[in-house]
Structures are given as structure tokens and as C-alpha cells.
A and B are shown apart, each in its own frame.
Chain A
């Protein structure tokens, strides 16, 4: 079953974004993405202060089965990375929308968020990939 919270935004590369009240966004990978990957064994995240570009890789998640890039869903600067994932990568499987968040970034501009998908559009994307 797809697990796609209504209050989040999504990228086509299967990251989710949460808009915070201070103007930053929190980013993780979706339930669908972690389900495809299987058990995570290694997470590599960008360090604080890194400038990232929308659509470019900025981290790596590796499962028993495969390795995959994590893409920056918007351009901006990393203000915090989830350090707990280095020692507990399985958190991404257990709670991808909560404790398994990956990083927080400050978007370069507000317009960065315009091209993102809402829950309904992301659900359609996931459905289309299954067929």
C-alpha cells in the first residue's frame, strides 16, 4: 500500500519535502523509495553549509540490494543533516517521514518550490511506475 502523506511535497526522484515555519525545508525519501530499495545499510548525507542544486545528487542511500543517489529537490544551502542515520540507517525503513528524515535546507528562493508535486500528483507518478 502506498503511504503518501497529504501535507508534504514530492519530487519526481522520490524525495519528500516538508515546509517549515522558518522558511527551511526538511527532506527525506518516500515510503515507495525505501520499499523499492529494501533494508538500508548505509546513508551518506551532505554536510552543513553545502550548496546544492535542484536535480543534482547530494547524498547516497545504500541497501543490501542496491545503491541510489539522493537528489536535492530544490536548490539551496544545507543547514542540518540527520546525523543519527550514520549509525542507524534502518531508521529510513522504519520511519521515512519522521525520524528517518535526511537533511534540512534553506531554499535559494521561494520559487524553487513551484515545480514540486503534491501528494495526488506523486501518487499518480508511483502508480504509473508500477505499470
Chain B
């Protein structure tokens, strides 16, 4: 038996197929992964993401701490509740984890990190905090997290949890959060759709989940979460980047703040060098021309540029064709073609700009 979220028994009641995910017993789907995917693109759905690691970092020096710890710059967070996506790097520029950090007040930042990396993240952050001094790091295992995503997600949240939320959560711009009652409501997500991620006390999570379900929000499992995020062109830690790859090699250059040049964040030296000398490998999008499904770790031979590897490959229910993210030699350009061996036969892939899908619409 793995770790279980406060919503585990609700998943069982809803007929979930449970799988192990990074040591957690999580719902893969509740009947049809593709059906759940379409629900989120066309209407809305809710995800139990309570396995994610919510950590509060407090202390007078918390902003300076994150200026050192993260490749993106928390000085971009000027108003309370604003959120920032960033990688946390080791000294070689490799990605320890990707995360979202929220600025709550001048002595309190909240971080949401991945579940499967929990132990090494906590070891790294705690060691850094000890060295830095003056900040405390607290895991919030008393909290749960529910994501409600899709074009109708916000309406359904107001209907289920209170129309008054329109005046608070409803006025948030993307990547902001507000606390209402015992709900920490953020306009973040991992699907490329409108919606909220709500962090709330573990004890009230089942009731909130059931309220959402009673207004017609269907549950969505990790299977659809993966195809949704891949269509949205969002990286998955452990697949698209890890400690052996830098953000610049992972399609995440936009998350690295090189200015100001005197902000000496951990891993900076390697990224500066890569930037000056040129990045050897890049993350690109691929679409398969023809039938079949692209899979993680398949080799892709790029015409005239050498070999790369698929880091996330799957079937896109929205586009009805196979899509992938792949790490390829830097000479590869959008529009290039390549070859992937699918079950012993060569198949042609085309290099495309991603995201593949945003707000329900194909971007190709």
C-alpha cells in the first residue's frame, strides 16, 4: 500500500482504477481516460493533486533565500498572491525539480513541488535554508489540493462553493492566488485550460470534492492529466527534464532570469556558459504523420542533424494523432522531418512549435 490522499475513498467510490505514482495510490482514470480528457477540453473536470508537496517557507529573509535558490527571479513577484514558475537547480545547472512559488507576504512564500521528488526536494531546500539562515521550511501535509480545469470550471466552482467567490477568485489574473475562508484559490493549472487550483485543509477536502461532484464536475485521473499537459506543451519532471539536463536544454529558457547579472542563483555558472557557447540540445515538439503512437525513450533520427530522444510521447485525443516532446541536437528546426522506429517500421515525424493545444483549440 502506498501513500493515500484524503480523497482516496472518494476515488474508490467513483470507480477509479488506482495505480502507483511516485509512492502514492492515485486514480489513473474513472472509466475512460480519453473521455475525461475531452471533458476538460470541452466542459470541465476535477483532479485530486493532493500528492503534490506544499511547503511554506517563512522568515524575514525569505525573498533573498529564493533569489538564491531558484533560476527564475522572485523579484518579479511584486503583489501579494502572485505566483511564479521556476526550476530549482543543482550546482551543475541540472534540474532538481520544477515548482510554483507564491508570494504571500514579505515573510511568507508558499511553494508547490512534485510528489515523486519530495524527499530529495526537502533535503535540498532544508540544507540550503540551514546554510542561508533565518528561514524556516515547513511541509504542509495537513493540506490537500484539488484542481478544477476547463472552460466551465470557474462557473462550476462558484456554483458548488459559493457565488461570493466571483468577487474574489473570479477577479484574479492568471498565475495569482487569493485566500477565501479556508480555501487558497489559485489561477494556475496543468492543462492549458481556464480554471483553479485550490489548496485546502485535508479535513475539508472530501466535502469540497463531493460538492463539486454534486454540481456535475466529473473526476479526472492522472492518465488524462498527462495527455492534457502534453497537448498544452508543459514539461513533466523526470521525463522532459531531470538532474542531467539544464532548463535551457528543456524548453525552459523562458523561466531562467539572467538579469540582473549579479543575482548568483545556484547553477547559474553552467547556464551562463551554455548561453555563451550555445546549447547543444533543445526540446522540440513532434507530430507523427500517419497512424501509431509515439512513446517515451524512442529514438528519433532527425534529417541532417543527428539523433534525439522522445521525452514524452503519447496520443493526443484533441488532435487525434500522436504527439511528443523530444530532446534533439540544436541544429534541428521547426518544419524539419525525422524518423522514429515504431514497432520495427520507420515512421515520419514533423518538428513543430508547441503548445499543441491551448484553450481547447489546436495550435498546429
Q: Name A's B-contacting residues (CB within 8 A).
A: 38-39, 41-42, 44, 60, 62, 64-65, 67, 90, 93
Contacts and interface: CB of A to CB of B under 8 A. Distances in A.
B314 interface: yes
B27 to A, nearest CB: 13
Given A60-B343, A64-B223, A65-B223, A93 B293 contact: no
Contacts of B343: 60, 67
Contacts of B227: 64
The interface residues of chain B, by DSSP majority, are classed as: mixed
Contacts of A41: 34, 293, 315
Q: When A and B form their complex, which 7 residue pairs have the shortest distance between CB atoms, in order from nearest? A: A39-B34, A41-B315, A39-B33, A62-B293, A64-B315, A64-B33, A42-B291
B171 interface: no
A4 B340 CA distance: 38
A93 B29 CA distance: 14
A70 B264 CA distance: 56
Interface in B33-48: 33-35
Interface in B176-224: 223
Contacts of B29: 38-39
Contacts of B91: none
13 contacts: A38-B28, A38-B29, A39-B29, A39-B34, A42-B291, A42-B292, A64-B223, A64-B314, A64-B315, A64-B317, A65-B223, A67-B293, A90-B34
A42 B293 contact: yes
A114 B243 CA distance: 55
Contacts of B314: 64
Interface of B: 28-29, 32-35, 223, 227, 291-293, 295, 314-315, 317, 343
A4 to B, nearest CB: 19
Nearest to B35: A39
Contact of B32 (A65, A67, A93): A93
Contacts of A90: 34
Nearest to A40: B34
A39 to B, nearest CB: 4
A43 B32 CA distance: 17
A38 B343 CA distance: 19
B231 to A, nearest CB: 12
Interface core residue of A38, A39, A93 (most chain B CB under 10 Å): A39
Contacts of B34: 39, 41, 64, 90
A70 to B, nearest CB: 12
Contacts of A67: 293, 295, 343
- Tell me which of B28, B35, B292 has the highest count of chain A C-beta atoms within 10 A of its own C-beta: B292
A92 to B, nearest CB: 12
Given A39-B32, A62-B315, A65-B223, 13 more contacts: A38-B29, A38-B33, A39-B33, A39-B35, A41-B34, A41-B293, A41-B315, A42-B291, A42-B293, A44-B291, A62-B293, A65-B33, A67-B295
A90 to B, nearest CB: 7
Contacts of B291: 42, 44
Nearest to A93: B32
A62 B313 CA distance: 13
A64 B316 CA distance: 9
A34 B81 CA distance: 46
A93 B315 CA distance: 16
B187 to A, nearest CB: 28
Contacts of A38: 28-29, 33, 223
Nearest to B19: A65
A90 B295 CA distance: 20
A40 to B, nearest CB: 9
Contacts of A44: 291
B236 to A, nearest CB: 15
